Amino acid sequence: MNADPSTDWNFTASLARLRYRIRHHPVLRQFLLRFIPLDQPFSGSLLGVKLSRSEIGLLGELLAAKYLQRHGRRVLFRNYRGLHRGEVDIVARHGQTLSFVEVKTRTSTAFGRPADAVNKDKQQLIQRGALDWLRQLGNPRIAIRFDIAEVILIRAELPQLHVIEDAFSLSDRSLAGR
């Protein structure tokens, strides 16, 4: 019996079938992304299949959610889409504060920090999502905050995560009726 499984025909054929399934089944790929650990270097692929841009973004959101949980936040919802065209990547509870977190993932820092991509239009989109979330809860009197989670995934390096708390706030006119 051969001790090296990589030379075993059955193992090689099974691995080839698994890679085919990963390449052609996006739901399976999204499921498997959940098991990529925070404490290992980023490879840019999943069992030898290159990750797409959207999958890298999804991986960034998954890593950010894990990071937030490890740092004392309770993740309540991911990828919230509001009724009034608003969206929030992560809604989390941090002590007595409800935080709405925008996750920005980059594979290079050559063009600046990931947080630089959260412009006024993106902030308004997140704010609309947050207001929709609060409306569904009956507009509770609770402290809220808008955070940005920066995820940097550079090949062969450990993922870098940084959370900017209170990155931006609601305008006063947005609070009318709250």
159-171 residue pLDDT tens? 999 999 999 998 7
How much is the pTM?
0.81
**36 Cβ contact partners less than 8 Å away, ≥ 6 residues apart:** 46, 59, 62, 63
Q: Are 99 and 80 within 8 A, CB to CB?
A: no
Residue 6 tokens, joined: 């990589």
Per-residue pLDDT of 37-89, as tens digits, reads 778 899 888 777 788 898 899 899 999 999 999 999 999 999 999 887 899 99
The answer to whether 81 and 128 have CB atoms below 8 angstroms apart is no
Amino acid at 29: R
Q: What is the pLDDT of residue 36?
A: 76
What is the pLDDT confidence band of residue 95, given thresholds at 50, 70 and 90? very high
H runs (alpha helix) in 71-146? 120-136
Q: Are 160 and 151 in contact (CB under 8 A)?
A: yes
Q: What is the pLDDT of residue 154?
A: 95
Q: Domain boundaries in the chain?
A: 5-175
Domain 5-175 class in CATH: alpha beta
- Tokens 């920090």, residue located: 113
